[in-house]
Each structure stands twice: as structure tokens, then as C-alpha cells.
Amino acid sequence: MTLQSNLSPVRKRRAGVLLHISSLPSAHYTGDLGAEAYRFIDFLHEIGVRVWQTLPINMPHADNSPYQCLSAHAGNPDFISLEALQAQGLLTKEDLTGLITSKAHLLTKSYLTFIQQENTQSNQWAELAFTCFCKKQAHWLDDFALFLALRNKFNQVGWNYWPELYKNRDKETLKLAQVELAQEIAVIKFTQFMFFNQWLNLKNYATSKDVALFGDIPIFVAYDSADVWAQPHLFKLDADKNMTVVAGVPPDYFSATGQRWGNPHYNWDAMAADGFAWWVSRMQTQSELFDIVRIDHFRGLEAAWEIPVDEETAINGQWVQAPGDALLAAIKRALPNINLVAEDLGIITEEVDALRKKYDLPGMKILQFAFSGEEDNPYLPHNIESNSVVYTGTHDNDTTVGWHSSMEDHQREHVHTHLRAKGLQDHQFDIPNQLIEIALESDADLAVIPMQDILGLDTSHRMNTPGTVTGNWHWRFNWQQLSKQQQDSFANAVTRTGRH
């Protein structure tokens, strides 16, 4: 049986823009949920764009990768708007002067101000809201707050290197830690309260402007995370809680040794035993924050590549079946209105495709992968089905300008041949605008364009280069990069292709 979701925002003919929160303009070291986020929604509304896609918004490790986070639930504190805290009277104007390279001490100050504020009616409401938040989110927040406080106590080392009683969650030891670290735990919970409050305010504003928020979750979680520390039985670990196998993908056209991601694999039998409660809880959080949620590496829900932990590359792994059908059925039962998108890039088997289609999930089509010369290439515009999300490129791709300038001549000629077939002369070629138009003209219900392509930026502005560990996730834009001509051109293309 196919589950229909025709009212889903991802099944309407719409245009979207891909821009992570960190890439928004800001007076500080990263974009945040302040005035510029609201301005971006106004911009999308003005040009007729109805979807804003971001990367995962969870709290990352020190490398800032949104795909390796400390929790499957907790939001990134760096995204909290300090200006919004000032407007609430939790910070002063002086607090926001000078070079701010971390928000941690200001978030602590906000909490201390919050609990010391006079007992006014508005403050009573805020305290009640905080209490209700902590109670509602306790199923993940309690473990996360203690985990992060202990991680700070042990100088940021992974939980598997903590003293045995902490590592193994000895009850009496953790009770004493909760007393010892009570204020720090409270600050962490308050920080999450502020994040969720600011995010939901932004989401409400986006809804008022007819803009849907499109989120993203990595299929796997980081080993050094509150999730694995709190529920190690849900992951494939040995008796000493070390990983036995790690996640990745096998060798392919892009890498002769594959990719060894290093994430722990799920103990699917343990997860199935309680009806996939951990996954359902995770998706519940995401469905509250977003209108649409993309599952990264969807093929791992049918079968995942397991690599022995002592292997340095991904070559000597094996495919191991996963209960994707039962998992998706559990998610749909618990959250019947959730709108999911399957990241089904790479080598996809018939079984993976059948699983996606059974649950009526849109797949992804990337135009940068389309022009290989084969007519059956699934990414070619005329092969794209309506139940798809089409992109010029994603956060893992080069910008379209960079892609076009760096490709080999024979590949570039395939692109030009396609443009000539549209009636264009060589002197009329305008990359990336024509690739944007191809995406918008396609049959895909949703077409998402990276902000870098709208701005016509080159390789130096790409967000991430897979397989590298430095120089990623830092790209920021400013409004001066956007000309009126670029804005009008994109808005006109959205209208002309019936996506407004």
C-alpha cells in the first residue's frame, strides 16, 4: 500500500532556497536566529519562494560539522540570538560590545539574570514556560544536560574516556554529579529553552509568510554523543562500550577506498523491541521544528555498510540489512502528518527505491550529476519524476560556477549540448542561471537552489568538500552580494515556471 501525502508542502509545485543558519549575515562569528533570519524569510516571501532548507541544526563538535553532533535533539547554542536576549532584558547593550568569539559566558549570564529577575507577572510566565519545557523535553534533556556538564568537567574528552563510574552511568555517581553540577546543568537546560523558543518564534513567522522550513537529519549519530552514552544498548558496542563496527560507504566512482565515517551502527533488534521509540522521539522533535525533514543517507535504512572498527578504510566492509520498513511504519503511525524526504543519492538498489516509494517519499535529483552523456541518467531533467526534490547542487557539491569551470571539456560539452537543445546560442550561455532555470522548469514538485548559485559565486564559496576535515561549514553571505538584477531574475524564473 502506498501512503499518500498530497497535502504535504513538499508535494506542491514550489521553489526553495538552501542556506544554513550559520551562513546568515551576523554581527558575530556565525549566523543566528536574530533579525537577519527574519529578513531572509521576508526575502523569500518577496521573491515567491515557499521553502527554506537548512542543514541539521543540532549542537556540533568542535569541527562545527552539522552531521556529527552531541545530541540528536539539542539545538546549536551558537544560533541563539544575543540581540533577542538583550531585548528580553537578559543581557545589556554593553554585553554585546567588543569581539564575541563564544556565547557560552553570555548564555550563563542570561540564565543568572533570568532567575534573579523581579517576580513580575511576565517573569512568572517565563519561569512556568521554562519549567514546562524541561518537563516536556525531559526524555532527552536530562541526559543531555548531565552529559554536557560532565564533558565540560572532563575537559571535553569523549565519554568513553571518562572515569569508569561516569562512563558506565553508575547511579550513585551520577546523583552526586547532578548535585555538584546543578547550576551548570540548569544553564544547559535554559540554553536549550532559549534555542527552542527562538526557533519556534522564527517558524511561526515563516508560517505567517507562507514559507515552510525544511530540515535535515543525519541517519547516524556521533559515538561521542549523549544518545550513545545514555542508551548504549541501542548501538553495536562491545562489553566495554567500544564500537565493533563503524558506518561508511563502500568504494565507488568517487573514492577508491570508500568513506569511513566512524559513526556507530544501530542495534536494530534492541530498537525494534520497544517499537523504535528512540527514532520516533527523534523524529517528533524534528517535526516540531520543521515542516519537512530530509533523512540523510536514506539507503542505510534498507541496508548499511558496516566496517570493522580496526579497518582504516571502508574497503573491507559489508552490507547489513536494516528494518527500514518497520521503522518507517512506526514513525508514520506515531507521526502521521510528518513530511519526509529521502536523500537517495549514490548507487541505489531496487530494494531502496521500493522502500522510498512504499512510503511515498520524494527522492533527490542533482543536476550537477546529470550530464555524464548517458540518456538513462536519472538526474537528466527529462528523467526527473514529479515526486522529487531537484537541486542544482547541495552543500556537498561545488557551487555551479565552480563546477562548470572545473569540469573536463567533454563533460562541459554535454551541458552545452543540452543548452543548445533549449534554443540557446553559445554566446548566450549564462551559468549558473540556466542551470537554475532547468531545475525550476523540471517536473520535480520542489526545486531547491543553494544561495551561492543565486548569487553566482565561485568555488571559494562552497560549504563543504566531502572527505576533507578542515575549511568547511564557514561560508557566510552578505546582502551586498545580492544585486537587484539577481533577485528579480530569480523571482521572475520562479513565477514563470509556476512555482510561486
Query: Quick one: what percent of the chain has pLDDT higher than 90?
Result: 87
What would the mean pLDDT of 286-307 be, rounded to a whole number? Answer: 97
Lowest-pLDDT range, 120-129, 155-164, 319-328, 453-462? 120-129
Question: In Å, what is the CA distance from 92 to each residue of 26, 53, 80, 86, 96?
Answer: 18, 33, 16, 6, 7
What would the mean pLDDT of 2-11 be, rounded to a whole number? Answer: 60
Is the backbone peptide bond immediately before 432 cis, with ω within 30 degrees of 0? yes
pLDDT value of position 255: 79
Cell readout for 382 is: 527529462
pLDDT value of position 124: 80
Q: How far apart are CA 84 and CA 91, in angstroms?
A: 9
Reported as a single tens digit per residue, the pLDDT across 354-401 is 999 999 999 999 999 999 888 889 999 999 999 999 999 999 999 999
Reported as a single tens digit per residue, the pLDDT across 108-153 is 999 999 998 866 666 788 889 999 999 999 999 999 999 999 999 9
Q: Residues 275, 333: contact at Cβ < 8 Å?
A: no
Reported as a single tens digit per residue, the pLDDT across 33-90 is 999 999 999 999 999 999 999 999 999 999 999 999 999 999 999 999 999 999 999 9
pLDDT value of position 254: 66
Q: Which of 134, 261, 112, 275 is nearest to 197 (CA)?
A: 134
Residue 427 pLDDT more than 70?
Answer: no
What would the mean pLDDT of 97-109 be, rounded to a whole number? Answer: 95
Question: In Å, what is the CA distance from 382 to each residue of 146, 359, 370, 375, 444?
Answer: 52, 24, 10, 9, 10
Backbone region of residue 135 per phi and psi (left: phi > 0; alpha: psi in -120 to 50; beta: other values): alpha
What would the mean pLDDT of 439-467 be, rounded to a whole number? Answer: 96
pLDDT value of position 117: 83
Reported as a single tens digit per residue, the pLDDT across 156-176 is 999 999 999 999 999 999 999
Strands 259-264, 303-308: parallel, antiparallel or unpaired by DSSP?
unpaired
pLDDT value of position 46: 98
pLDDT value of position 273: 98
Cell readout for 29 is: 562569528
pLDDT value of position 305: 97
pLDDT value of position 425: 75
Domains of the chain, start order: 9-496 (3.20.20.80)
Lowest-pLDDT range, 116-125, 130-139, 344-353, 453-462? 116-125
pLDDT value of position 424: 76
404-431 burial, b if ≥16 CB within 10 A, otherwise e?
A: beebeeeebebbbebbeeeeeeeeeeeb
* 297: β partners: none
Q: Residues 204, 197: contact at Cβ < 8 Å?
A: no
Q: Residues 194, 76: contact at Cβ < 8 Å?
A: no
Cell readout for 1 is: 500500500
pLDDT value of position 5: 41
pLDDT value of position 420: 86
Q: Count Cα atoms within 13 angstroms, Cβ side, for 139.
A: 11
Mean pLDDT score of the chain: 94
Question: In Å, what is the CA distance from 288 to each residue of 197, 281, 443?
Answer: 12, 11, 29
pLDDT value of position 121: 65
**Residues with catalytic annotation?**
296, 343, 396
Residue recorded with cell 574516556: 161
Reported as a single tens digit per residue, the pLDDT across 221-264 is 999 999 999 999 999 999 999 999 999 999 876 678 998 999 99
pLDDT value of position 426: 74
Query: pLDDT-derived band of residue 459, with 50, 70 and 90 as boundaries?
Result: very high
Residue 1 pLDDT more than 80?
Answer: no
Reported as a single tens digit per residue, the pLDDT across 174-198 is 999 999 999 999 999 999 999 999 9
Q: What is the pTM of this model?
A: 0.96
